[in-house]
Amino acid sequence: MTQEHPPLTEGVYYILLALYEARHGYGIMQLVEEMSNGRVRLGAGTIYGAIKTLLERGWIEALDGDGRKKEYIITETGKTVVEYEILRLRELFDNGIRITRGVE
Amino acid sequence: MKKRMYRFFIDYEKEERWVNDMADRGWNLKKTVVGYFVFEKGTPGQYIYRNEFINRKSKDYFEFLDEMNIECVSKFGGWAYYRKPKSEGPFEIFSDASSKINYIKSMNRIFIFVLLLNLIIGIYNLSLGLREFVVGSMNTSVGCMNLIVALLLFIPIVKNENRKKGLKQDLHIFEG
Enumerate domains of chain A plus CATH numbers. 10-100 (1.10.10.10)
Does A44 contact B89 at a Cβ distance shorter than 8 Å? no
Contact call for residues B91 and A46 (beta carbons, < 8 A): no
Q: If pLDDT is split at 50, 70 and 90, which confidence band does A27 have?
A: very high
Q: What is the mean pLDDT of residues B25-40?
A: 95
Which of B67, B95, B176 comes nearest A41 by C-beta?
A: B95
Q: Is the pLDDT of residue B135 over 80?
A: no
Residues from chain A that touch B68, judged by Cβ atoms under 8 A, are 25-26, 29, 44, 47
- Mutation site for B-interface testing, chosen from A15, A46, A51 by largest number of B Cβ within 10 Å: A46
Residue A1, pLDDT score: 45
Cα B71 from Cα B73, distance rounded (Å): 6
Contact call for residues B87 and A38 (beta carbons, < 8 A): no
Which of A26, A45, A69 comes nearest B99 by C-beta?
A: A45
A42 Cβ under 8 Å from any chain B Cβ = yes
Residue A73 φ then ψ, to 5°:
-145, 150
Under 8 Å CB pairs connecting chains A and B tally to 58
Residue B34, pLDDT score: 86
Residue B137, pLDDT score: 75
A34-87: pLDDT as tens digits: 999 999 999 999 999 999 999 999 999 999 876 667 899 999 999 999 999 999
3-state SS, residue A67 = coil
- Quote the percentage of chain B above a pLDDT of 90: 77
ipTM value > 0.90: no
Which of A24, A43, A69 comes nearest B93 by C-beta?
A: A43
Does B94 contact A68 at a Cβ distance shorter than 8 Å? no
Q: What is the mean pLDDT of residues B73-82?
A: 94
Residue B176, pLDDT score: 64
- Cα Dmax for chain B: 63
Q: Is the pLDDT of residue B56 over 90?
A: no
